[in-house]
Amino acid sequence: MDLITFRKKRRNSINKPLNLPTRDPFKMDDFYYQEIANLTGAGGWSVDFQNRTSFFDIQARRILEVPQDFEPSLKEGYRFYAKEHLELATKLFYECAQGKSFHEEIKMVTFTNKIFWAKAHGKPLLNDKNEIIGVRGVFQNIEAEKDREKKLRQSLNIIEGHNRRLYNFAHIVSHNLRSHVSNLQLSTALFDTENLDNDQMDLFSNFKEIGQNLDITLKHLNEIVTIQSATNKDLKTVRFDRVYNTVKSSIKQIVLQSKTVIYTEFSEVEEIDYLDAYLESVLLNLITNSIKYKHPDRDPEISIFTYEEEGKAFLAVKDNGLGIDLEKYGDQIFKMYKTFHHNKDAQGLGLFLVKSQVESLGGKISVESKLGKFTKFTIQLTP
């Protein structure tokens, strides 16, 4: 080999890149696991049956407040569980060592004897031969979550207590006033009005009207009390077509006189577990409202249909009536004694009762409307 050829080979070998292994900067490593542990606040542990060793990661040590020189062991492991849950911890560990994973909420104790609730997960560790060679798991301090649950339960208990007292109060008021109102109405019915002058007749008419209004108010109060006392235990399978036919039969003359056309479609959701009386009330109020607030320039048309969305059953009722100014009245539609048109027979109770009945069974109701065009009520019947 001459000198020139040797120099060329040497130069090429120097310039040629080396085939060194490259590091993947996005490969999962300790950084990811440590940051995930930081975000979730979960600590990890493991027990090696072959080498008879135990392990706590950094987060586990932090949660359990163990000293830096503390060496975990199977023998010492039970000190980290509350006395009342020690038996449960033993059972879970034994079953896990036999091959059964666990997911449990359990009371644990720190090295400094602070008791806290933890969410714990564990699973057996297998070798290449599918033999159990240890167990490992993670746990998370959920004391703050449990404290929130406790406060929420306390709040719910207070609210339920208030509701019971309000229900009892409404029941007492309704019961006690009923006799007085009946006496007032009976007295006005028997009163001799032939010898009254005009002023006395006006005064008597006021008394009579007061008695009638009190009677209506008590009926409303009774309806509300009945709604609050209903429970899910009273549910039964109800067919929409049968409920609709019952309602339509009860208002047959109103439908005929108003020339109302009603379209129905219940094929997507034909039946539901519900209170049939509530479903009748909902349909009755929405249909009669559509007729009551029909547009003066056209005959009423009402579409009633059911559908399912994300596993929940819906009922929709749409009309071509006067519509509602939602910008003006949107926050008042379902409030008691609120009316939005000038009909003399409007009492402002129907939509309030519909909303109360729907929500008492865990449902929701919403409204869409365009003034002078249409109104559509959509009811989510299932929670």
DSSP conformational letter for 348:
S
| CATH number, span 232-380 | 3.30.565.10
Question: What percentage of the chain reaches a pLDDT higher than 90?
Answer: 42
pTM of the model: 0.49
Q: Which of 78-82, 187-191, 315-319 has the highest mean pLDDT?
A: 315-319
Q: Average pLDDT of 25-34? A: 56
- List, for residues 32-48, the tens digit of each pLDDT value: 666 776 777 788 999 99
Distance, CA of 133 to CA of 50 (rounded, Å): 6
**pLDDT at residue 231 is higher than 80:** no
249: which 2 tokens?
């039969």
For the chain, what are the domain ranges? 32-141, 147-229, 232-380
Average pLDDT, rounded, for the chain? 81
List phi, psi (to 5°) of 243: -65, -45
Long-range contacts, 285-289 (Cβ 8 Å, 24+) = 285/350, 285/351, 285/353, 285/354, 286/317, 286/354, 286/377, 287/247, 287/248, 287/251, 287/262, 287/317, 288/251, 288/254, 288/350, 289/350, 289/351
Model pLDDT, residue 228 = 57
pLDDT recorded at residue 260? 95
Beta partners for residue 106, in sequence order: 118
pLDDT at residue 28, as a whole number: 43
Is pLDDT at 23 greater than 60 in this prediction? no
Supply 345's token pair: 């027979």
Is residue 273 pLDDT above 70, yes or no? yes
Strands 312-319 and 301-309: antiparallel
Q: Which of 303, 300, 342 is nearest to 321 (CA)?
A: 300
* Confidence (pLDDT) at 157: 82
CB 125 within 8 A of CB 135: yes
Q: What integer is the mean pLDDT of 122-144? A: 92
For residue 325, pLDDT over 70 is answered with yes
Give the highest mean pLDDT range of 25-34, 152-161, 180-189, 346-355. Answer: 152-161
156 falls in which pLDDT band (50, 70, 90)? Answer: confident
- Adjacent-strand bridge partners of 262: 302
Grade residue 232 by pLDDT with cuts at 50, 70 and 90: low
Q: Which residues pair with 374 in a beta bridge?
A: 370
Homologous superfamily assigned to 32-141: PAS domain (3.30.450.20)
How confident is the model at residue 171, as a pLDDT? 62
> How do residues 194-207 score in pLDDT, each as one tens digit?
777 777 777 777 77
pLDDT digits (tens, 9 = 90+) for 62-121: 999 999 889 898 888 889 999 999 999 999 999 999 999 999 999 999 999 999 999 999
